[in-house]
């Protein structure tokens, strides 16, 4: 179903998954400072880079810069699907705008239209992959089918299906699946062992989560740029909270 996608073995640096950013550029900046990625690390963004939050433009610009510094994979989320479809008709444009697209347009300028989005941002959005896999992990935006190869899983399942703990089963490959999409509004990662959901609702006063897939080390930052630390530590960040 998805021929020609890049896969790789686990013989590289850290494999770090980053959850749904939704335009929260301050949170992303703080996490990248803490993660301090090197050229041997692989950063996999699980999709929904845009919409809802206030600065999708800055998020896309940051990812373009990051591609020059380390190995970056960007997964297509349902919000990337919607913005790409918004170019096709008035109805798909209005649908996307009602799902947070207005905030994305306004991050370019107040009252912006699709034509205000620069070509390099469109190129990034168009280059998003449906999934990424290694010898140990499968990473995609929303969900998977346990009895289907990830390459044979339909796009709706990968981008739109909710992560329901009571319905989840291990993938047939035996690999651990890492997803975003389904908001964990308690701000905690949902870890079933065989599958992990790291969307912790950053744009809804939650946290943006990054996960080192091998070590299970996590980093979390708020949309205001405050780093979440252990209970005995204080929050710190790059940007003041209003």
Indicate the pLDDT class of residue 242, thresholds 50, 70 and 90: very low
Tens digit of each residue's pLDDT (9 = 90 or more) over 38-83:
999 999 999 999 999 999 999 999 999 999 999 999 999 999 999 9
Range of the domain at 137: 15-228
**Residue 116 in this model has a pLDDT that exceeds 90:** yes
- Residue 129's contacts (CB-CB under 8 Å, 6 or more residues apart) are 5, 6, 73, 74, 75, 76
Give residue 10's pLDDT band: very low, low, confident or very high (50, 70, 90): low
199 in a structural domain? yes
> Please, which residues have CB within 8 angstroms of residue 195's CB and are 6 or more apart in sequence?
144, 163, 168, 170, 171, 176, 177, 178, 179
The DSSP letter of residue 71 is: E
What's the pLDDT band for 229 if we cut at 50, 70, 90? Answer: confident
Residue 57 in domain: yes
Rounded Cα distance between 55 and 105, Å, is 9
| Residue 117 contacts residue 107 (beta carbons within 8 Å) | no
Is 239 inside a domain boundary?
no
Report yes or no on 5 lying in a domain: no
Per-residue tokens: 230: 């252990």
* In-domain check, residue 21: yes
pLDDT single digits (tens) 125-181:
999 999 999 999 999 999 999 999 999 999 999 999 999 999 999 999 999 999 999
Strands 71-74 and 131-133: unpaired
Assigned domain for 111 exists: yes
Instruction: Locate 82 and state its tokens.
Output: 């919607």
The single-letter DSSP state of residue 193 is S
Assigned domain for 236 exists? no
Does pLDDT of 217 surpass 90?
A: yes
- Overall number of domains in the chain: 1
Q: What is the CATH number of the domain that holds 46?
A: 3.60.21.10
Residue 141's nearest CA partner among 126, 129, 124 is: 129
The rounded distance, in Å, linking the Cα atoms of 180 and 234 is 27
In a domain? residue 10: no
pLDDT at 240 over 60: no
Instruction: Kindly report which listed range (104-108, 206-210, 218-222, 229-233) carries the lowest average pLDDT score.
Output: 229-233
25 touches 62 (CB < 8 A): yes
């Amino acid at each position: 179903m998805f021929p020609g996608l890049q896969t790789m073995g686990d013989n590289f640096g850290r494999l770090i998954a980053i959850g749904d950013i939704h335009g929260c550029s301050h949170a992303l900046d703080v996490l990248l400072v803490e993660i301090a990625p090197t050229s041997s690390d692989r950063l996999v963004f699980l999709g929904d880079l845009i919409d809802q939050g206030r600065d999708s433009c800055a998020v896309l610009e940051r990812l373009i810069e990051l591609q020059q510094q380390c190995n970056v994979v960007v997964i297509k989320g349902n919000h990337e699907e919607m913005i790409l479809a918004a170019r096709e008709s008035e109805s798909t444009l209005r649908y996307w705008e009602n799902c947070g697209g207005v905030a994305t347009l306004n991050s370019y300028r107040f009252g912006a239209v699709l034509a205000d989005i620069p070509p390099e941002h469109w190129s990034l959005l168009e280059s998003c992959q449906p999934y990424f896999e290694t010898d140990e992990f499968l990473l995609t935006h929303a969900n998977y089918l346990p009895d289907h190869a990830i390459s044979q899983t339909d796009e709706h399942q990968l981008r739109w299906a909710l992560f329901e703990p009571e319905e989840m089963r291990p993938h047939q490959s035996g690999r651990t699946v890492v997803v975003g999409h389904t908001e964990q509004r308690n701000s905690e990662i949902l870890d079933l062992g065989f599958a992990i959901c790291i969307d912790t609702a950053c744009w809804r006063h939650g946290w943006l989560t990054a996960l080192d897939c091998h070590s299970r080390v996590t980093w979390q930052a708020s949309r205001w740029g405050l780093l979440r630390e252990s209970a005995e530590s204080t929050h710190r960040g790059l940007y003041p909270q209003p």
